Chains A and B, each alone.
Chain A
Amino acid sequence: GPKVLQIPSHQIIDMGQMVTLNCDPVSNHLYFYWYKQILGQQMEFLVNFYNGKVMEKSKLFKDQFSVERPDGSYFTLKIQPTALEDSAVYFCASRRDNAETLYFGSGTRLTVL
């Protein structure tokens, strides 16, 4: 089936540094999402993105977070600066226009020390 790729699978950084999580969505998909999952807890919506714009974001999407997808490249989540509570697995997802099925990547495990 369709694959969403996330790079890297693990990232360890020091608190206060910047980190960029990369997502390669399914090729013909137009809507992109980030979700956050702290170990042992539920998936929490962060943000969705369409046509170069943030469509909706949650309270978890702090001012230190930003997303973008320069033409034809990765859909990225940038955190600057990072905090200890940002440690989690971040899942990228994408879907086609007018379709409801979200396809998820395998996640990037971010550890902030």
Chain B
Amino acid sequence: GDSVTQMQGQVTLSEDDFLFINCTYSTTWYPTLFWYVQYPGEGPQLLLKVTTANNKGISRGFEATYDKRTTSFHLQKASVQESDSAVYYCVLGPAGAKLTFGGGTRLTVRP
């Protein structure tokens, strides 16, 4: 079945640091890949999605691209802020079907 792996369980940065979170995925479908963000006490919300390999998704200063050859999908931001502290999920979803979540990366940004 489909699977998503996020190796970085926790990341701690200072404000204005560069953020890079990676995940790998496995599926037999042509994937759509998402990054969802979850703030304390809330449900996950869509940050951005990428439907085509090597295309870039951009939202709120975050960027993501996926590499079909290495089946990897990364999220980056040039300069993080304290308000970016949250859990970030790499998510795999064929169009119109259920989403498969990675284990999440808890980002803590220190002021």
Contacts and interface: CB of A to CB of B under 8 A. Distances in A.
Nearest to A89: B43
B99 interface: yes
Interface of A: 4, 33, 35, 41-45, 48, 56, 91, 93, 98, 100-107
Most-contacted residue by chain A among B32, B98, B99 (CB, 10 A): B98
Interface of B: 32, 41-46, 49, 89, 93, 95-104
B93 A100 contact: yes
Contacts of B104: 42-43
Given A98-B96, A100-B49, A107 B103 contact: no
A98 B97 CA distance: 10
B10 to A, nearest CB: 11
Contacts of B42: 106-107
